[in-house]
């Protein structure tokens, strides 16, 4: 089979290894730019701005997740690692999507299942290429797959258990419209049957809209019939599970993520002590409201993963007392009006950076929030040092940008790491 590997980053490299394992496949690597990864010796390559428009003579074009299917010109079949995995995987799959909280919820699901003695494979957008482990998975295992809109764009099969978290405007720099974004997300349940399960956030209009057309058994959260919180405890129906303090994550949004995880695993785990062990055993992912250090009575938190306004709002609501928040970055087509309104409700100073600085400032002005400062050509060391010079004991410094990282940083990980390094340089 003549196969084009379209896009040669981390996932593209994984796709190449998987499909080249069959000696009958004739592989060509295709990318618009010269890949940072070395192209294997002797392998054909098409490199150039119009590379994805030169694929007419391939049987199969395996796109990397961030490459829109409509950018590929071919008379062959457009495919993806996610499609390949879903077709070939022998185990049940729990798929998790949403705008934010996917990684945390998928990790909580995995932790609960592992506490019950299950063999769990956590893959997907969380950073573990699914095809790398496909040949190791057994039918009795459980796969937890974090699914972005890019992975769901052209999916042909849905997971047996689908989880839809809070959805908001996102990735409009890649998707053609909000409708296109929601349509991609809806594929997580599009191919489910009546015997499958859909767990969804009933308080989110987009999740609710997607769920309304699903054939699967629908489980809402939070809901008194399923997982909910009462008197400071996690409850399922009338069964008490544990105190919410068993969850070692900040913020009400993470309590909701835990509810989704409990609902998603209830078919496998109903023992309260096991669920509590799973919840308490997970201490969070890097760059997600991660405590960095306390210096002179000031606590520093890295929430670099917060690339949308609502995630920054959720982070703000996780703290009481004075906060200095670092906002801004590159554009994803977000609306910052609600963030401006939220800032006006808190004792907070905003440091605003990046291409979105003007848009964020306009939203602040419209909401009557004036305690902000725009920093041009920012260097993270300088920003942190400046904040340290005036931050008072008992206050919090929060990196929660509400924007993408590109332009100033390689990605959200680089941005978070630079913040952590800058904080760790502060004199104690």
Q: What is the CATH number of the domain that holds 411?
A: 3.90.190.20
- Residue 73 pLDDT > 90: yes
Round to whole Å and give the CA distance between 276 and 185. 30
pTM of the model: 0.92
The C-alpha atoms of residue 170 and residue 426 are separated, in whole angstroms, by 34
β-strand partners of 373: 351
Q: What mean pLDDT do residues 151-168 have? A: 96
Do the beta carbons of residue 258 and residue 107 sit within 8 Å?
Answer: no
Q: Is 216 in the same domain as 328? A: no
Task: Report which of 226, 248, 241, 252 is spatially closest to residue 276, judged by C-alpha positions.
Answer: 241
Q: Give the closest residue to 13 by CA, choosing from 32, 46, 34, 35.
A: 35
Domain that holds residue 272: 83-280
Q: What share of the chain is helix, strand, coil (3-state, %, to 5)?
A: 35, 25, 45
Is 83 or 10 the better-scoring residue by pLDDT? 83
Give the total number of structural domains in the chain: 3
Cα pseudo-dihedral 14, 18, 21, 23, rounded to 10: -110
Asked if pLDDT for residue 369 goes beyond 80, the answer is yes
Question: Of the residues 75, 94, 116, which one is the last residue of a structural domain?
Answer: 75
Sign of CA dihedral 265, 94, 213, 104: positive
The answer to whether residue 285 sits within a structural domain is: no
**Banded model confidence at residue 127, pLDDT cuts 50, 70, 90:** low
Residue that is last in its domain, among 15, 46, 75: 75
Tell me the pLDDT band of 128, cut-offs 50, 70 and 90.
Answer: confident
Query: Based on the domain organization, do 233 and 144 belong to the same domain?
Result: yes
In sequence order, what are the beta bridge partners of 240?
A: 235
Q: What is the CATH number of the domain that holds 8?
A: 3.40.50.720
Q: Which residues pair with 78 in a beta bridge?
A: 61
List of residues 6+ apart from 324 with CB closer than 8 A: 348, 349, 350, 351, 387, 391, 395, 396, 397, 398
269 and 367 together in one domain:
no
Indicate if the pLDDT at residue 181 is higher than 70. yes
Residues 159 and 120 in one domain: yes
CATH code where residue 240 lies: 3.40.1190.10
| 206/322 same-domain check | no
> Does the pLDDT at position 251 exceed 90?
yes
> Do residues 127 and 246 share a domain?
yes
Sheet order of strands, 44-47 included: 44-47, 26-31, 2-6, 60-63, 77-80
Using pLDDT thresholds of 50, 70 and 90, give the confidence band for residue 377.
confident
Q: What is the DSSP string of 86-154?
A: HHH--SEEEEEE-SS-HHHHHHHHHHHHHHTT--EEEEETTS--GGGTGGG--TTSEEEEE--HHHHTT
**Tokens describing residue 124:** 């997907």
* pLDDT-based confidence at residue 214 (cuts at 50, 70, 90): very high
């Amino acid at each position: 089979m003549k196969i084009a590997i379209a896009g040669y980053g981390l996932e593209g490299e994984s796709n190449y290894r998987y499909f080249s394992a069959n000696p009958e496949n004739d592989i060509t690597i295709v990318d618009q730019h010269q890949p940072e990864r070395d192209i294997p010796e002797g392998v054909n390559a098409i490199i150039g701005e119009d590379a994805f428009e030169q694929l007419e003579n391939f049987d199969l074009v395996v796109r990397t997740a961030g490459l829109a299917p409509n950018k590929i010109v071919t008379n062959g079949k457009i495919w993806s690692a996610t499609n390949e995995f879903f077709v070939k995987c022998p185990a049940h799959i729990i798929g998790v999507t949403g705008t934010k909280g996917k990684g945390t919820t998928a990790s909580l699901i995995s932790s609960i299942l592992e506490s019950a003695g299950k063999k769990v494979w956590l893959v997907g957008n969380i950073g573990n290429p699914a095809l790398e482990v496909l040949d190791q998975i057994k039918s009795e295992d459980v796969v937890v797959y974090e699914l972005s809109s890019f992975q769901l764009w052209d999916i042909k099969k849905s997971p047996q258990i689908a989880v839809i978290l809070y959805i908001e405007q996102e990735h409009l720099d890649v998707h053609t419209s909000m409708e296109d974004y929601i349509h991609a997300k809806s594929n997580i349940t599009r191919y489910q049957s009546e015997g499958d399960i859909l767990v969804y956030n009933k308080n989110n209009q987009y999740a609710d809209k997607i769920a309304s057309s699903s054939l699967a058994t629908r489980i809402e959260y939070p809901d008194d019939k399923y997982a909910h919180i009462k008197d400071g405890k996690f409850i399922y129906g009338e069964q008490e599970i544990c105190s919410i303090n068993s969850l070692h994550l900040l913020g009400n949004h993470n309590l909701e993520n835990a509810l989704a995880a409990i609902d998603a695993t209830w078919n496998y785990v109903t023992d309260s002590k096991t669920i509590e062990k799973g919840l308490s055993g997970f201490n969070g992912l890097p760059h997600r409201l991660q405590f960095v250090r306390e210096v002179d009575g000031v606590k520093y938190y890295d929430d670099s993963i917060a690339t949308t306004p609502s995630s920054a709002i959720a982070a703000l609501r996780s703290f009481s007392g004075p906060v200095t928040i670092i906002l801004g970055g590159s554009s994803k087509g977000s609306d910052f009006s609600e963030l401006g309104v939220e800032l006006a409700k808190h004792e907070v100073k905003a440091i605003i950076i990046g291409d979105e600085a003007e848009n964020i400032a306009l939203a602040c002005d419209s909401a009557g929030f004036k305690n902000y400062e725009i920093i041009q050509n920012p260097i993270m060391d300088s920003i942190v040092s400046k904040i340290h010079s005036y931050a008072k004991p008992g206050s919090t410094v929060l990196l929660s940008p509400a924007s993408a990282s590109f332009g100033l940083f390689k990605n959200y990980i680089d941005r978070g790491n630079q913040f952590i390094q800058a904080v760790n340089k502060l004199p104690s």
